[in-house]
Amino acid sequence: MGREGLIQQGTFVAAPEVSALDDLFLQAQAYVANLQGDLKATVDAGEVLLSGAFIASGGGNAIDAYWIEARFSDSFPSAEPKVFEVGGRVPRIADRHVYESSGRCCTCVWEEWILGEPPHTLESFMQGPVNDYFVSQLHFEQTGIWPYGERSHGSVGVFEACCDLLGITRDVFEHDIRTCINLLFYLAEPGLKGHRPCPCGSGDKFRSCHRTDLENLARRVTPSMAKQLLQLMNPK
């Protein structure tokens, strides 16, 4: 019924607001019904829980099944979901992209996904990063090779994701962490200052160096996005 409300005997009665958790649960139910019938959607401990057999697919065909639990808080998509492989098939080690302390699957660099192209829905997360994660696990089981490549672990992997998101390449900027941080500081400010030194480290002013590249980046990465990435990079 949403916010439209209804008329009862000439009096407008507001429709009850749907909570974020209720809305997310409805998304989960639709996702299970339409795409993953072997999963079950429930609300558990204030989170939406998807549990059961997740069917990994490629090229439109089912490839294999992994037993999982995926937990979504009502802050999604601001908050990262927690995905676990619970069938004992994926070793609980960093080299298989599992956090050893918690057993949570490292499905992607979250900030890279959330700052990328929309939509950022429960379905797009499960059919995107989660599906790719398990397809990769299967391929690695069979060949010892990660089909989509892999990020480094820890802060190095975060840096790599930031560079890819920003489009930093060696032929434009020196591919190092300080350049990435300098660039994010520029993008975090409203308006690019042409008189400042270019973040590439050349010593030239921005307006006569990488102005075009930075202006193109600023069209994709808003100041708020840049601030989020700066927090992620945790510059000293």
pLDDT band for 2, please (50, 70, 90 cuts). very low
- At 103-149, the pLDDT tens digits run 999 998 787 787 777 899 999 999 999 999 999 999 999 999 988 76
Percent of the chain whose pLDDT exceeds 90: 45
pLDDT band for 35, please (50, 70, 90 cuts). very high
Return d(Cα 169, Cα 164) in angstroms, integer: 8
Q: The tokens of 53 are what? A: 């057999």
Domain shared by 108 and 81, yes or no: yes
Domain shared by 112 and 162, yes or no: no
- Domain-located, residue 149: no
- Domain-located, residue 2: no
pLDDT (0 to 100) of residue 150: 62
pLDDT (0 to 100) of residue 216: 81
Domain shared by 39 and 60, yes or no: yes
Best-predicted range by mean pLDDT (80-84, 154-158, 186-190): 80-84
pLDDT (0 to 100) of residue 215: 82
Domain shared by 81 and 174, yes or no: no
CATH classification at residue 81: 3.10.110.10
Domain shared by 205 and 227, yes or no: yes
Per the structure, the complete domain to which residue 100 belongs is given by: 20-143
Instruction: With 0.85 as the threshold, say if the pTM is over it.
Output: no
Number of domains in the chain: 2
- Domain-located, residue 1: no
- Is the model's pLDDT at 22 over the cut of 70? yes
pLDDT (0 to 100) of residue 167: 66
pLDDT (0 to 100) of residue 3: 38
Last-in-domain residue among 143, 165, 182: 143
- Is the model's pLDDT at 14 over the cut of 60? no
pLDDT (0 to 100) of residue 4: 43
Given CA atoms 146, 152, 153, 159 in this order, what sign does their dihedral have?
A: negative
Percent of the chain whose pLDDT exceeds 70: 81
Q: Is 226 within 8 Å of 191 (Cβ atoms)? A: no
Q: Is 80 within 8 Å of 68 (Cβ atoms)? A: no
Domain shared by 117 and 80, yes or no: yes
Domain shared by 137 and 30, yes or no: yes
Distance of CA 216 to CAs 161, 184, 210, 236, Å? 18, 14, 10, 27
